[in-house]
Structure 1
Amino acid sequence: MSDTGDDERQRIREQKKRELQERLESGGSLDAVDADEGGDAPDEPIAITGQGHFEEVVDEHDVVLVDCYADWCGPCQMLEPTIEALAAETDAAVAKVDVDRHQRLAQQLGARGVPTLVLYADGQPVERTVGVQDRATLDGLIEQHA
């Protein structure tokens, strides 16, 4: 499964690289690329470093999908390519909270099992799911609150 996730991440990176190169060659700038993407959400998941960082990310972005995960969690590893694709291909910011490193924050987010995904819109939690979710479900939740 790790190879599949690595392949998917590489495919996404190559796609983004081609898009950026095409826009630069057609006379655009990187600033124009950011404006064309329709949001200021990063193209990769944000590794949360603590409570303050988490609050900053939620305040800074309109829609944030928070992935509460653990490195030892098989379902979390299965979900990883989907999380990376959502970060790269949607206007939502994607934040990752390691439940082992940030136990108190994980508890505040209501993560009783992993993976737990919490969707924030305008600074407020609006959806919570537990377990592996498919891409279409997560896309739908993000679009509903975008």
Structure 2
Amino acid sequence: MKRIVPFIILLFLLAGIIIGCQKDLPKPGMKPKIVSMDQLSYYHAEIVPVYNQNLKEIPSLFVQHEIKGNQILVECIVNGVSFRESDHAKQKIGKMIVWVDGKKNSEVTSAAFIIKGLSPGVHKMKLEVVKLNNESYGLTKEFIVNIPR
């Protein structure tokens, strides 16, 4: 009996260590459809509201960006404006114009996209939600990114 007690104590300690050391990671809600990155040298993310989110009739824009290498991963939440031309349920259809250092870089018709090939250094980014005829909805977001060397 005296030999069994230390064995039971040791068994409980090992079981506690094994149970306590398991990784309980949350399941990701969305898998990115992005190019895989080998190195994460700089990380910056922010979410900034442009309009009050509680008023559904007023379009609003939230932007989150992440820098990975020389690429910027951008995710936007645009309420009140659809990027699908075939979406007739919503009255407001549009696209997003991406400006880099004051120059028009591209037009996108999705809420998540990647800006590739930026040179090292500081860049001023501007996102502008516009109608299909390039008339502004008044939704813009500007931010500064620092691409590492």
TM-score, normalisation: structure 2: 0.27
Which is greater in Rg? 2
The answer to which structure has the higher helix fraction is 1
The answer to which structure has the higher strand fraction is 2
TM-score, normalisation: structure 1: 0.28
**Comparing both chains, which one has the higher relative contact order based on Cα–Cα distances under 8 Å and sequence gaps of 6 or more?**
1
